[in-house]
Amino acid sequence: MAPSSTTILSALLVCTLCLIINISSAQLTHDFYSKSCPKVFDAVGSVIKSAVSKEKRMGASLLRLHFHDCFVNGCDGSILLDDTSSFTGEKTAGPNNNSVRGYNVIDDAKSKVEKLCPGVVSCADIVTISALESVIALGGPAWKVKLGRRDSKSASFSAANSGVIPPPQSTLSNLINRFQAVGLSAKDMVALSGAHTIGQARCTTFRARVHNDSNIDTSFARSRRSSCPLPTGSGDNNLAPLDFKSPNNFDNSYYKNVISQQGLLRSDQQLHSGGSTDSLVEQYSKNPGSFHADFAAAMINMGDIRPLTGSNGEIRKNCRKVNS
């Protein structure tokens, strides 16, 4: 017997209700741990403040760790996983190997949180909170972090190596395309690039620029060459500040540097080279409040990239390995 119109309507309503519930359960929220682990920000924040006070560069490293995690299959903590017999993790992929750091600080934060609230807070959320606390520790803006991510049960060396993380030699179009591929706008990209107002870069990432490029301030190039000689293999791991004016302060000097053709990376200088992002760089160079506001908004957007929620993934006990 054919179902009645009332039966069909009831079924449709049930399906619609299920869809609404699934959508709402998959959303990250500001108060996700307000009852289950209300002191999570204090716990993570204390670890980050201590680490950054000992080494200012660590703040930039933890911010970058969040970025490299989110761009590879979403903000799922996959970058933290060590290699296993069943998969090769992301730590030794080109963009990360001998470059991404701060794993031990995340371990310390996780350990502190586990003592407060065992099995509640994901490693992916700890990475997200650590990025916020790092920026604050270096004088940058705060934002309302959304939480509720769960941890991936695997990692992907091939995905991390596939070019989804824009390399330091990127053109402007590649930067825009890579960010758009994960749902971020060109404005988000320019604002997030301002993270290069803190931190250091290895000689291997800027050697070609300071020796070969023409769109670079002559004296700036000369000063960088002294610690990054031309032969590959000589001084490869020597460091230089991404923002030579105030490398440990989260300010808008980065944009002023780029306008003066003193961007350390080719990808930095691309933001102000006669292209579509010139005006935004100029705006941020003149208005630090505008930069801070847009950076905070972009960080929230980046944290929304393909999170695992609900019953997907797990809450790892140890950030370096999946639960047994």
Catalytic residues: 68
Give the Cα separation of 224 and 258 in Å (integer): 15
Copy the structure tokens of residue 118. Answer: 């065992």
Identify the CA nearest to 269 among candidates 260, 284, 277, 258: 258
Q: Is 293 helix (H, G, I), strand (E, B) or coil?
A: helix
CB 132 within 8 A of CB 143: yes
Give the Cα separation of 119 and 158 in Å (integer): 30
Other beta carbons within 10 Å of 196: 25
What single string gives the DSSP state of each residue in 85-128? SS---STTSTTTTTT---HHHHHHHHHHHHHHSTTTS-HHHHHH
Pairing of strands 239-241, 200-202: antiparallel
Q: Is 148 left (phi over 0), alpha (psi -120 to 50) or beta?
A: left
Give the Cα separation of 247 and 270 in Å (integer): 20
Give the Cα separation of 68 and 118 in Å (integer): 26
